[in-house]
Structure 1
């Protein structure tokens, strides 16, 4: 039923989606954008507490009510009262249902005709959102909600740094459960234990769910493990959070003397070579903290690597994990698989401010490589990032999303947008004055014993 606000709560937020979304600036694009849904008046308060449907089947009303409930709660109640909006039992149901879907998906999901991609379809690609709930709500409204003819590919980094990582992740899981073949959630480097322990998500969950915080955090970590690593859209566009990855060379060990025993192949990296989609498909992604050592390096590369203007592959020494790859590698990968675009994320305005070789992230995207076969694009969807920042001068960057349209889905249409104004005031969940803004120099090695998930070198 429709609940009333707590007696001590501040006034409720605007009573309609139209009122709320009018606080953000309209996006600008390089071309026409897909139609946004019409404004639908809603009651001043969402239906709370949220209950799991009796038949276990979500519908659009349930998901949009969840969105409205999270937006209302962010303004009207303290974070510790979130369980009064979304009880732990309902959260468990949502995460478990989504996890079952995600774990069944391949490492690299293919969005093609067999997936329902047709001549009337559009595909929206979204970069890092980092717990900026109100900007995510605006983006969904601006691009148009997921629908039979509107696909979404989210490129990871749903949590950390922003104050509403849990709500962002849960609402995207709800869309995934509702439309599993229209909404695709890829993993980012922040969907890991070592990042969420440093950049706020673990503390955020503990603050919001109190005694149940450890339980909720573990459920989220388990769900992170199931997130696919990459996607290929219409056979023409490769998307992944960090980008490209190295290949491995299999060298056989000594043949066993026992009868009918197969030869065991131990993959070792003899030199840095560009990896293949076949190798990506075989990588073991279900690791809590993607390794930077040992035989299973592809997940870490996909999540942590960065482009460079320097040709070739080299270790990403600044981050301590992943690779740097040059325009020649972009061309090789595009040409080998007949692709036109690579869309990756992973670098916000803070990271780009430290790099003189690549463009800044003021508009929410950059075109980093233009080669004979196509382009490499970095996409970042968190405007005015990060929410908490130590420096006096903010970057005031725009966020952006990309729309891919038929017939070939290989020409990016960029939509930049500014941050939602009057963001609710909230305390940070990490020491943003002491913790570096970018992921450089993150001491992942010291955090391995805590996770218990790191693989040892072969």
Structure 2
């Protein structure tokens, strides 16, 4: 089983300037990008230049079409490079691509937590989405516990969107898109991968497939009734492995801890 871990990363010293955002068309329907547009977006984003608002809106619309067709348990083929938390560290992401290879040459599985804490969450998410739309079979992007409306209002992504676009529109469109990200992946039908960990309410992969993921991630303080419906989704994104055996209450207030004996089951 893969889970993302909680590793840190170096923080960039300053933000780069971005192009002035444009307005989405009056019809409310952004133009969907073609291959030439996507290649241009990728080239710009690789230089840490954020997209204009209308460009990002079209990219998000196309990404949503792709993601909503993906299962809660996304099949992934080997060879694959598995990547944990990025947290807005764009230059770390670029270094990883430099060492491991750029899509589509390398097949990637990202385990979530693309935003918050770092200075370049917008650029990180935009680049991953551009690669996902351009090469949908060569990159898998799962949801982490920070791909959440509540969490991003506390840990920096919301403020970054306001600072770079002078509007909350970009934050809203991206957090709405996060609802469509798959929850888990299954590598070669043998390695079960997710951002967080296991759940005492999930016994089979079919249990995961039956979760309605298109919603905000439930966090702490939910009633027993609400947990029965939404808790398993929370656990997949919040639970952590632990040196102690069995199930435990997570000190983070959401999800559970679980021992190696639970993983072995």
Normalising by structure 2, what TM-score? 0.82
In the alignment, does 2:216 pair up with 1:240?
A: no
2:239 equivalent in structure 1:
305
Deviations 1:59-94 (A, max 9, x none): 774244123342xx4xxxxxxxx5xxx221111001
Q: CA shift at 1:206, angstroms? A: 0.4
2:208 equivalent in structure 1:
280
CA contact (8 A) 1:157 1:188 kept: yes
SS in 2 for 1:329: helix
1:174 equivalent in structure 2:
130
Distance, in Å, in 2 between the alignment partners of 1:331 and 1:315 is 19
In the alignment, does 2:94 pair up with 1:137?
A: yes
Distance, in Å, in 2 between the alignment partners of 1:58 and 1:290 is 39
In the alignment, does 2:74 pair up with 1:109?
A: yes
Distance, in Å, in 2 between the alignment partners of 1:287 and 1:55 is 26
What is the aligned length? 235
CA contact (8 A) 1:50 1:87 kept: yes
In the alignment, does 2:51 pair up with 1:95?
A: no
In the alignment, does 2:178 pair up with 1:209?
A: no
CA RMSD of aligned residues (A): 2.4
Deviations 1:302-329 (A, max 9, x none): 000011111111221x111101101110
Q: CA shift at 1:275, angstroms? A: 2.8
CA contact (8 A) 1:229 1:285 kept: yes
Deviations 1:218-250 (A, max 9, x none): 101111100101101111211100011122xxx
CA contact (8 A) 2:45 2:126 kept: no
CA contact (8 A) 2:21 2:53 kept: no
Q: CA shift at 1:289, angstroms? A: 2.8
Unaligned stretches of 5+ residues in structure 2: 1-9, 11-18, 23-29
Distance, in Å, in 1 between the alignment partners of 2:32 and 2:170 is 22
Pairing 1:43-192 to 2, within 5 Å after superposition:
56-58=34-36, 61-70=39-48, 73=49, 86-112=51-77, 122-147=79-104, 150-192=106-148
SS in 1 for 2:137: coil
CA contact (8 A) 2:162 2:168 kept: yes
SS in 1 for 2:236: helix
2:257 equivalent in structure 1:
324
1:384 equivalent in structure 2:
none
CA contact (8 A) 1:291 1:299 kept: no
CA contact (8 A) 1:159 1:166 kept: yes
Q: CA shift at 1:50, angstroms? A: 10
Q: 1:90 to 1:326 in 2, by over 3 A?
A: same
SS in 2 for 1:174: helix
Distance, in Å, in 2 between the alignment partners of 1:246 and 1:225 is 23
Distance, in Å, in 1 between the alignment partners of 2:44 and 2:216 is 28
Distance, in Å, in 2 between the alignment partners of 1:156 and 1:330 is 20
Distance, in Å, in 1 between the alignment partners of 2:175 and 2:31 is 25
Q: CA shift at 1:132, angstroms? A: 0.5
Distance, in Å, in 2 between the alignment partners of 1:133 and 1:284 is 31
Q: CA shift at 1:100, angstroms? A: 1.6
In the alignment, does 2:147 pair up with 1:219?
A: no
Normalising by structure 1, what TM-score? 0.48
Q: CA shift at 1:49, angstroms? A: 8.0
The structure in which a higher percent of residues are strand is: 1
Query: After TM superposition, which residue ranges in structure 1, 4 or more long, deviate above 2 angstroms?
Result: 48-64, 66-69, 289-293
Largest Rg, 1 or 2: 1
Q: 1:322 to 1:179 in 2, by over 3 A?
A: same
Deviations 1:160-198 (A, max 9, x none): 000111110111000000011111000000000111011
The structure in which a higher percent of residues are helix is: 2
Q: CA shift at 1:291, angstroms? A: 4.5
CA contact (8 A) 1:58 1:178 kept: no
Deviations 1:26-50 (A, max 9, x none): xxxxxxxxxxxxxxxxxxxxxx789
